[in-house]
Chains A and B, each alone.
Chain A
Amino acid sequence: MLQCKKIQEVLKADYLDKELGAKEEQLVKEHLKQCSGCRVFEKELQAQRMFFQGVKRQQVPEHIWSNIRDAIVTQRLKQEAGLIPGILQRLRNLLSVRKPAVVLATSLFSIIIILALFTNAAIQNQIFLNKKVAAENIAGYSLADQNGYVLYDLGTGIEEYFL
């Protein structure tokens, strides 16, 4: 009985599909000669196989190819017509889509640019003030003659400017 169970497992796949080795196939055939139950089971499987293989293959309806050809032609035309608008649309999508990563990157970039501008303005302002102070200091030490020529005393004033 246990052997019949094993044989029937083999019958359902490898034996029926001729995937068994010659030796194993011979063993199954010998069992079938002796066991009527397994013989009946094998016949049922073979009958089913015959039934499946006997069902007529259906002809492919002819209009399917023309539908496919039309769909391909339409797709090609769309691709050709939509090449430039497609690129523009992609660019537009890229600009309009608010993805978190894009938003974060844009915000960080803006902050950096604003900070850089402020820092630059502050530095420029400081330089301007320093120059003004230095000019005043220099002017304090300058000696104007009667003809409008200014002769600078490059003593302590200019040294302080550079310090």
Chain B
Amino acid sequence: MNDIVLDVLERASRGHMDAFEEIYKASSSFVYNVALRITRNSANAEDVVQDVFMKIYRNLNNFKFRSKFKTWVYRITVNTAINHYRKSSKEEKGRVDYDNIIETLPDRHLATEGISQTDNEARLNALLDMLSPEHKACLILREIEGLSYQEIAEALTIPVNTVRSRLKRARQALVVEAERK
């Protein structure tokens, strides 16, 4: 995700919808994909995207440019997605996640590439599900979104060494799981 031009941010904070749409176009892919990996469910990810952009809209006037805008978006996204995941996990505890089963089932109309993609999705979700939301967030930001240690630390408001140790633990857990299978 690239940082947004200052002029666009200022116009959006004054209520210009076209400027806000520009912000949405620049950052929605990041927000949606991170939300999808953390919540594991497209309906929840859609809710997270809507929550995140409403938070951005309401608080844009209070954004003081002490940090980069994109770091602020990373932070709101991860926090909103983790809160959503925790809330829905409580609600869904002990209940079969039919939505997820349907999502991960291969579609008979899909081509071979499509089937393998669906398998990959299911495998990715299964792997990420073994991790705590905090470890999962670190791994997603690093492996899928390609953020540096410093960017992850700023987004999650944790020290760089904590980012390092969370990545180590997450990768160790995944290697152990891969060996077990």
Known: A48-B171, A53-B143, A72-B57. A61 touches B124 (CB 8 A): no
Counting contact residues on chain A (CB < 8 A from B), the size range is 20 to 34
Residues of A within 8 A of B74 (CB): none
- Residue B172, interface by CB 8 Å: yes
- Residue B144, interface by CB 8 Å: yes
Majority-rule SS of B interface residues:
helix
CB distance from A153 to the nearest CB of B (A): 82
Q: Tell me whether A60 and B28 are in contact (CB under 8 A).
A: yes
Q: Tell me whether A17 and B171 are in contact (CB under 8 A).
A: no
Cross-interface CB contact of B49 among A14, A44, A52, A64, cutoff 8 Å: A64
Q: Tell me whether B168 and A12 are in contact (CB under 8 A).
A: yes
Counting contact residues on chain B (CB < 8 A from A), the size range is 35 or more
- Residue A118, interface by CB 8 Å: no
Q: Tell me whether A55 and B32 are in contact (CB under 8 A).
A: no
Residues of B within 8 A of A131 (CB): none
Contact pattern, A 11-41, Cβ under 8 Å of B = 1, otherwise 0 = 0111011010000000000000000000001
Residues of A within 8 A of B29 (CB): 57, 59-60
Contact pattern, B 117-152, Cβ under 8 Å of A = 1, otherwise 0 = 100110110000000000000010011100001000
Residues of B within 8 A of A57 (CB): 29, 33, 144
Q: Which residues of B contact A (CB under 8 A)?
A: 15, 17, 20-21, 24, 28-29, 32-33, 36, 42, 46, 49-50, 53-54, 57, 117, 120-121, 123-124, 139, 142-144, 149, 164-165, 167-168, 171-172, 174-175, 178-179
Q: Which residues of A contact B (CB under 8 A)?
A: 9, 12-14, 16-17, 19, 41, 44-45, 48-49, 51-61, 64-65, 67-69, 71-72, 75-76
| Other A-B pairs, 15, CB within 8 Å; known A41-B175, A48-B171 | A13-B165, A16-B171, A48-B175, A51-B120, A52-B124, A54-B120, A55-B121, A58-B32, A58-B42, A60-B28, A60-B29, A60-B32, A65-B24, A65-B28, A75-B54
Q: 5 shortest A-B CB distances, which residue pairs?
A: A52-B143, A12-B168, A60-B32, A60-B28, A13-B164
